[in-house]
Amino acid sequence: MKNNQIAIIIAIAVLIGYTLVKLGNSATYSSFADATDKQGEITTVIGYLNLDAPMDFDPKTVTLRFMAKDKKGNESLVVYNQPKPQDFERSEEITMTGYATDSAFVATDILMKCPSKYNEQNEVDSDKIYK
């Protein structure tokens, strides 16, 4: 075999190994209870904002604190060290990536599922469109 062929085979093996390592480290969805059991490990929790509980944003420290419930019904204080996302109160579902501590779940990233702007009231009746 030529040196070029050996180098290509080694490069492909390294890429396959890198891909397997990344897939092995990918986070799975868990609950707040699971995150508490794995304190310090990065986990992803899908939950809902508790609108009955107080929400606090401190602009000096750029910290948002709110209560969230996961899909299993567990509730936890969530601390997010970023500005409050736009239309946060209107979100239907929140995907929070972060880690649990003794007192709260510290979210490093938040992804929101907002309500659809398309609903039955806004649907267009195709029979009423003039051709």
pLDDT of res. 117: 62
Query: Which has the closest alpha carbon to 67: 39, 42, 103?
Result: 103
* Full-model pTM: 0.66
Which residue ranges in the chain fall short of pLDDT 50? 122, 126, 128, 130-131
- CATH superfamily of domain region 28-113: Nucleic acid-binding proteins (2.40.50.140)
- DSSP letters of 46-111? EEEE-TTS--EEETTTTEEEEEEEETTS-EEEEEE-SPPPTTGGG-SEEEEEEEE-SS-EEEEEEE
Please name the residues in contact with 27: beta carbons below 8 A apart, sequence gap of 6 or more.
42, 43, 44, 97
